[in-house]
Amino acid sequence: MFVDIGKPIADATNTFIEWLIVNYGDVFESIANALLTVLVLIEQALRWAPPWSVLIVVGLIAYAASRNLLLSFGIVALAWLLGSLGLWEQAMQTIAVMLVSVAIAIIIGIPLGVLTARSDIARALLNPVLDLMQTIPSFVYLIPAAMLFGLGKVPAILATVIYATPPLIRLTDLGIRQVDHSVVEASRAFGATRWQMLKGVQIPLALPSIMQGINQTMMMALAMVVIASMIGARGIGETVLLGLQRNDPGKGLVGGIGIVILAIIFDRISQAFGRRLQAYRTVGG
């Protein structure tokens, strides 16, 4: 009754991965080394810096994003709580992986979002790929990533980027498409080129939507923390994983609280920055 197509798909995938490893192994090794170099620099800077200095920087970033002293003090208190839970080192490792992953997602996601906003054909081609990226279980990403880059933080970064980039692409596309057509037409009437309209009108007006996409990308990157720890990414996710492996619910709960605290910190800062952009756009308009 059924035609067996599962085995041919699996065999073709395995053959393709093996072909990539044999023919482009050096390329993947170069990419891994470059990512590790950046990651190690960020991680060492965070781990070697005195905790009080990191708390001050976090407070300054929160204040710059929100201009709200109460929110800034609250975020600093949450960061302090991470250290009090005994998760400071692990949190710095997780933040380093997140910063690299989110930076790569932004570099990939915003240009692709702009492309899909400017081209209906690109959008029609890319949407099924984004649907696939968002619906495939995140565990599945770890298998080819680990085969291409080995175990450790590099495949964790790759899997996180694949999992977390789609919302940024979609919200960038949505934000640019929702820019008032009369504003675009007015800029065209004044002789603006497509690039000038994009840079000077569409992207600035779409910034709140783009910031929301970055916020969602951060949250989805944090959702990969525990899963990525299974292939050696370490960080707070490792604490949860150890609690699961050792049947230690207390340790797992502490790790879970640490992940929630990080999520709140990143979410509040990015949302505050997005609100400031929205307010600035409203005043400017």
Query: What tens digit of pLDDT does each residue of 40-78 get?
Result: 898 889 888 899 999 999 999 999 888 889 999 999 999
How far apart CA 279 and CA 283 sit, in angstroms, is: 6
Q: What are phi and psi of 179, to 5 degrees?
A: -60, 135
Please give the structure tokens belonging to residue 74.
Answer: 């609250």
Please say whether the beta carbons of 139 and 159 come within 8 A.
Answer: no
Q: H or E segment at 63? A: helix 51-66
pLDDT tens for residues 105-141? 999 999 999 999 888 898 999 988 888 887 877 777 7
Interval 261-284 mean pLDDT: 77
Interval 229-249 mean pLDDT: 80
pLDDT band at residue 148 under the 50/70/90 scheme: confident
pTM of this structure: 0.85
H helical segments located in the chain: 6-48, 51-66, 69-84, 88-118, 120-135, 138-149, 153-177, 181-189, 194-197, 203-223, 225-228, 236-245, 249-284
DSSP characters for 115-136?
HHHH-HHHHHHHHHHHHHHHHS
Please say whether the beta carbons of 180 and 193 come within 8 A.
Answer: no
How far apart CA 215 and CA 269 sit, in angstroms, is: 9
pLDDT band at residue 8 under the 50/70/90 scheme: confident
pLDDT band at residue 282 under the 50/70/90 scheme: low
Q: By percentage, how much of the chain surpasses pLDDT 90?
A: 18
**Domains by residue range for the chain, with CATH:** 6-278 (1.10.3720.10)
pLDDT at 183: 80
Please say whether the beta carbons of 153 and 232 come within 8 A.
Answer: yes
